[in-house]
Structure 1
């Protein structure tokens, strides 16, 4: 037995503490006073190849834990606990590098129960109001932070050139000028960058943003999702690229690559555009992320040669890869490719350097764990008021009586009896559309909090006015009830991505039958709830007033605000409204341009005098 005197033990302890102190001093990457590039270089120099490759992997939350993840009724505290649990695992690693947690928050914090769901981008494009969109970005950042999350896969800055595309509602407009202006959501999400072109996140109330999907996703043939965009280089740069120029100028932290191809070449494998143009020419300094299993689809069928796909994707310039389920296979493959020099270590270092930069500017090394500072922001009244304002400004009035001398809208609040009809009048899930609590959206009414259009109407009218709701009334019922007028709310069911690709764009039944049964028997206002223009010309003569409400989200009261004249109609079409699908694709400026309602069209009204 070795005996040690107490004074000697004390001396050894002091020596050990001094060694730890000196070691901590040498860890420049943990010192927030050090310049950013010094911290990045220091940390990169300490990392093994395995640790570097690990930074390039993004898992799905289900794969990140063996437990079944909570459903959409989870509380913000549940989300915080989950995110902190993942983060603590990252912090316990050798170097304690924090993770970055990303989520689709494409029209508010749309995955979370009770969050404010804003209008989808097509409706925001109708507002022509970049400042409004910036405010929505700020509100979304607060609600995302309320659940402990710090990174959002938004905004989508696609320029949808064919409404048959199932993601068309994620596009602000067919016009690249409007899309470019709406990149103002980025400083809303991240904060105002003090220096142009440098990734920036301005505090714990902000999140890292992601401009997507680079590039040309909205231009695919016949609007087929994930398909081929056929356009020359000038067209690609003039139509599909301006949103990216301006996103980079505004300091966007990350950019996501598109599933689609450009002239037959997969974007996930396009070194010329991802590295030479985006990184080298545009000087993008954040990190490039793949779409969900995007690298897997470089080969067809997907994963038929996974090693080749990984090689092409990383060589193209993708820095972080969404690998929801097969991260161990990926790590083994990349390790082998680096050791065989098929992928140079310089490419790995570039990817990791970019990822670490975003983590540092996000403040994750100083504040890695979520807290409850912003809990009261989720679904707050201020955010719901903002969403209601956005709904009002997004509505486009397409018809209002036969001429200016006989307008139908605004409707009087004080009348005897109003019929409200249609599948979309009393369905919150239909109002919100896809990417709401679930990927494809919700068909039901009670899965979130908000106001349906029907309840908004009931609140808006005079208490003495009788509201009768019938989802799909027959003509005899309408004729027998002596209604003062009717409001018919119809449109599309929710969908997302390729599930929404649609070559006919007709209003599904019983929507068309409801229009036929109601309009003509009574003065009627038709409100279309949809992610894009739909075929309406054959029914237009029966309709007294026509409103495009797009996908308004949880605050349906905003529709009633304008219909009853508390506010005037101000929205303008962000897309050309076609006569028949045979005309598609048809965009403003085309030689064959012959629309039902042209791009930019929108009648206006003044608020009712009584209001």
Structure 2
């Protein structure tokens, strides 16, 4: 049979499987629909103002004295990346902010509690002292759904320790171009891996009963095709991030046909819906020129109709602004397309006024408003927010677990399993802790911020001691080996060193600021590695990055190369593998290219010739 026929047949088979799974979702999804009658009863008691209030999500930092939550009957509040409470960044401050917001909500006429949303995408990373887990790209290399579920179960507990009950995670994007600044938020370039691990993340966050006070509402994002946007070379509109970043993929256009969209990018949502995910967030990006947040085809017909999603469709941060310069038209377009809740951080009152006008003018049907609010309310009912005896206070027992050794032990295990041993010549690894004198080089070896990457305390992340409680790779090696470990960030190797560990990689970034045409190590990092390798001692290269980096032959100068991704706060997991206390088991969840001209490169590409193929991973 000709190759083209085989490919078409395989694609058709995959889509039939997807449809069968979607049918299963509709048949078994009663997590929210069983509460429809009760939700309708409450919605019938609401005024139009209260209904539109429920559709509105404002940001904590824009709410002032918080009284607008009660006055406008807001349905949700969020804290975006880096948006700390006025009282500072501590667990106590976050908890107090949540409780104050919830107190305002229950004081409204109908007393409907809020959903409080945060981006806890690799642990409760907004809060100082939280356990920060590896980003999804590392978890994808574990191929361990049970571990991913446990990581997200602990994330849910740390989020609920601060009271918050809504997590904008998991990201189930299928990144197909590593130059995209959100690549590390995806588990893999392969939809099957993303589907399995995304579903596991939903189970971990939500559990099997959303009334469980240690669980949170999950949100699969970003629907759909955000990992397929085409690269454009133009000046960035990310103010302050430098004109040199001319490549743009983030929030771009996915120029692919419908079968490809379904085969590669819809599949993970089917699995997430099947696990009962309570919310889906449409992408900033467009599909063949149409904004996802404005697409009736994607939101109403595909997501809600064909896939049978019964939860809340919530917009991304100010996403509807990109639909039209006419804000009223943007609101009308998005709500009629199927958006239920609107993340309008600063313009929440303007949004409410304009949507009210649209309904009164007949441009948005009341039935569409009622459908949106019914979806929101029945999710809240499923979460127990409308149960008698609901408390606005966070659970103090969960606060005692926050940042605990037990939680850090799971993160350390996640780090161990996420590492991929790319190269190991002449048995350079594992290191011999009893005999070798180990020299560590590279500023990144002693930098928690670089280990954690973006979405850590600040939206873009930051270098340095961004959060307490973690362990750097250098500190972990010193604790395990003692005074036989020396360190020089500039790479000057002492005469008595017997092996060198060089830690280099990307500085923290998030989203569009991370779009990068070259994905090359910096000039300084390259010189550092070469300087150490030229000293003559066996050299182990440890890469901290959010995607495969172009090594351009540098690996040939190193006896061993380890992809450690963005491991989070528990650098001890990296040391465990380097020292042989844990056998490396990670497998690449992304294809590793030889040079920048190969981008985009993915498993299954004809004549791909990668440096390291998808699934590659050595052990000892």
**TM-score for both structures, normalised by structure 2:** 0.87
| 1:528 match: secondary structure | strand
- SS of the equivalent of 1:58 reads strand
Contact 1:254 1:288 in 2 (8 A): yes
Please show how residues 86-125 of structure 1 align to structure 2 within 5 Å.
Answer: 86-125=101-140
Q: Distance in 1 between matches of 2:135 and 2:118?
A: 16
- Give 3-state SS (helix, strand or coil) of 1:398's partner: strand
Is it true that 1:320 corresponds to 2:341 in the alignment? yes
Does 1:252 pair with 2:293?
no
Q: In 2, distance between residues paired with 1:576 and 1:204?
A: 40
Change (3 A) 1:167 1:210: same
| Cα displacement (A) at 1:484 | 0.5
Report the 3-state secondary structure (helix = DSSP H, G, I; strand = E; otherwise coil) of the residue aligned with 1:59: strand
CA-CA distance at 1:466 after TM superposition: 2.1
Report what 1:382 is aligned to. Answer: 406
The 5-angstrom pairing of residues 534-553 of structure 1 reads 534-553=549-568
8 Å contact 1:526–1:543 — kept in the other structure?
yes
State the partner residue of 2:530: 516
Aligned to 1:409: 429
1:72·1:111 contact (CA, 8 Å) conserved in 2? no
Give 3-state SS (helix, strand or coil) of 1:537's partner. Answer: coil
- 2:21 corresponds to: none
> Among residues 155, 162, 178, which one is paired with 1:140 in the alignment?
155
1:190 matched to 2:213? The reply is no
Determine whether 1:41 maps to 2:40.
yes
CA distance in 1, matches of 2:509, 2:90: 25
Per the alignment, residue 487 of structure 2 pairs with: 469
Aligned residue in 2 for 1:555: 570
Q: Does 1:308 align with 2:329?
A: yes
Counterpart in the other structure of 2:12: none
Structure 2 unmatched ranges of 5 or more:
1-32, 67-82, 232-247
Tell me which residue corresponds to 1:497.
511
> What are the within-5 Å matches in structure 2 for residues 199-598 of structure 1?
201-222=210-231, 224-299=249-324, 304-366=325-387, 367-371=390-394, 372-401=396-425, 406-415=426-435, 417-445=437-465, 447-461=467-481, 463=482, 465-473=483-491, 477-478=492-493, 481-521=495-535, 522-598=537-613
Which residue in 1 is equivalent to 2:10?
A: none
Distance in 2, Cα, partners of 1:342 & 1:63: 29
**Distance in 2 between the 1:249 and 1:357 partners?**
18
Quick one: distance in 2 between partners of 1:564 and 1:268?
Answer: 48
TM-score, normalising length from structure 1? 0.88
Residue 19 of structure 1 is matched in structure 2 by none
8 Å Cα contact 1:537-1:579 kept in structure 2: yes
Q: Deviations over 1:342-391 (max 9, x none)?
A: 10000000100000011111111232413223111211111100000000
- Kept in 1, the 8 Å contact 2:161–2:398? The answer is yes
| Superposed displacement of residue 426, structure 1 | 0.1
Q: How far did residue 498 of structure 1 move?
A: 0.2
Quote how far apart the aligned CAs of 1:96 are: 0.9
Contact 2:60 2:85 in 1 (8 A): no
**Structure 1 residues 544 and 227, CA, compared in 2 at 3 Å: closer, same or farther?**
same
Match of 2:90 in 1: 75
Question: Could you tell me how far 1:412 is from its partner in structure 2?
Answer: 0.2
Superposition CA RMSD, Å: 1.6
Q: Distance in 2 between matches of 1:260 and 1:72?
A: 35
SS of equivalent residue, structure 1 residue 337: helix
Q: Deviations over 1:468-506 (max 9, x none)?
A: 111113xxx42x523101000000000000000000111
1:257-311 CA-to-partner distances (Å, cap 9, x unmatched) read 1000011111010000100010011110001000000011112xxxx21111111
Alpha-carbon distance change, 71 to 452 in structure 1, aligned in 2, over 3 angstroms: farther
Offset from partner CA, 1:399-419 (integer Å, 9 cap, x none): 000xxxx22111100235321
Q: Whose Rg is larger?
A: 1
Given that residues 181 and 510 in structure 2 are in contact (C-alpha distance below 8 angstroms), is that contact kept between their aligned partners in structure 1?
yes
Partners of 1:450 and 1:323 in 2: how far apart?
A: 34
Q: Is the 8 A contact 2:270 2:307 kept in 1?
A: yes
The answer to whether the 8 Å contact 2:282/2:315 transfers is yes
Offset, 1:593: 1.1
Superposed CA offset, 1:85-136 (max 9, x none)? 1111111111111111010000011111100000000000000000000001
SS of the aligned residue for 2:564 comes to strand
What is the number of residues matched between the two proteins? 551
